[in-house]
Chain A
Amino acid sequence: MVMDDVLLIIVGFSGGLAVGCGFVAFLTVLGIIPRLTQLTKTYDAIRKYEWSVILGVLASTWFGLRYSSFSLPGFLLIPIGLAAGMFVGMLAAALTEVLNVFPILAKRLGINEKILLLMMALVLGKVLGSFFHWTYFIDQ
C-alpha cells in the first residue's frame, strides 16, 4: 500500500518534470516571450514573465485536474478568451516563422511588397477558421 503510493508519487513527479521541461523548451524555441518584451520594451522584467508562465501553468494544472469551480460572473470569460486566443495566435505566427514559410513564398513569387497582404490572408484565415469551428463545425 505504502509502496504503491511511493511509486505513484515517483511516477507523477517524473511525468510532471518531463512535461514541464518540454513546455519550457517549446516556449523558448518559439521565442514568444522575447518578442513580447521587445514589443513592450520591458527587457528587465523577463524574470517576472518567467514566473508568470510558471504560476499560470501550476494554477491551471491544479484547477484543471481538480474540476474546481469558482461560480464567478460569465463576462470574465471575455478577457480570458481574448488572452487565450492571442497566445495561440502568437504560437501559430511563431511556428510559421520557424518554418520559414513567408521568405520562401515571397521569393518564389517575387512579391516582396505584397507580403503584408499575404500575412493578412493567414490572419483572416485563422480568425474565420476559428469562428467557423466554434459556431458551425462543432455541431456537425
Chain B
Amino acid sequence: MANTIYIRLRHKFKAALNDCIKIGKMANVIAPRDMKNVICDLDVYKIRPEDNKFVVIDAMDVIQAIHERYPDCDIQTVGPQQTIIEVESEKKGPRTVLFLLVWVLLFIGAGLTIMNFHEDVAMSSVHQKIYFLITGRENAKPLILQIPYSLGVGIGMILFFNHIFKKRFNEEPSPLEVEMFNYQQDLDQYIILQENKKAEAKRHGDG
C-alpha cells in the first residue's frame, strides 16, 4: 500500500521561544484522513534559546519525521524547500524615541542634500539664467521661479512614491513597496543559506 503524502512547507512564520513546532503548523499536508491527523501532530523541532532569531527547517527534516512514522509511504514535497521560523523575543520597549531620531535625521539630511545638490550643479545661476531667458531682465533672487520650484521638489517625490494618488489612481504597487518586497526576499534567501550552513557544520561536528 503505497500511500502518497503531499506536503507543502509554509514560507515563513513566527513562533515563541520553547514552542514545539508540529508539522501541522509549518506545512500543508494532503494524506489519507487518519494519517493526516497523526502527521500534523508530529513534532519536528523545539525552539531553544540558543537558536537566536531565526530557525530554518528543511523539507528533509519534515520528511524524516514522517518517514520514521510511516516508512512505506511515498512523500512528495511541493513548493518551498525550507521554512523560516522567526523566533519572537520578549516585547521590546516602545520605538518612538528611535523613530523620532530617524525622522529628524532624515529631515535634516534631506534638507542638507538638496542644498548640496543646488550648490553642486550651480542651480542658483541656472535659475537666474532662466529668469533672464523668459523675462529679459536680470534678477539675483528670482523667487517667482524658486518658490514653485521648491514646492515642486516635494510634489515630484510624492508622485514618484505614489502615495497621494494611491487609492484614486492606481492599484499597482509603488516602487517602494516592490523594493521592500525584494529586500525581504533577499534577506530570507540569505537566512536560509546561512542557517543551512550552520546546521550542516553542526551535523559534521556531531559525527
A residues adjacent to B (C-beta < 8 A):
31-32, 35, 38-39, 41, 63-64, 67-94, 97, 100, 102-107, 109-112, 114-119, 121-135, 137-138
Contact = CB atoms under 8 A, between A and B. Distances in A.
Given A83-B152, A88-B156, A109-B99, A122 B183 contact: no
B161 interface: yes
Given A69-B136, A85-B156, A89-B160, A132 B149 contact: no
B67 to A, nearest CB: 37
Given A72-B135, A89-B160, A90-B160, A129 B154 contact: no
8 contacts: A41-B170, A67-B132, A87-B156, A89-B158, A93-B161, A121-B102, A121-B107, A134-B150
Contacts of B158: 89, 123
A78 B152 CA distance: 10
Provide the main secondary structure of the chain B interface.
helix
A124 B180 CA distance: 22
Contacts of A41: 170
Contacts, number: 226
Interface string B151-163: 1111111111111
A64 B149 contact: no
Contacts of A122: 106-107, 110, 157
Given A81-B145, A90-B160, A97-B175, A111 B99 contact: yes
Contacts of B108: 125
Contact of A118 (B102, B148, B150): B102
Contacts of A125: 106-111, 114
B41 interface: no
Contacts of B24: none
A112 B160 CA distance: 19
A77 B135 contact: yes
A121 B159 contact: no
Given A38-B170, A122-B107, A89 B134 contact: no
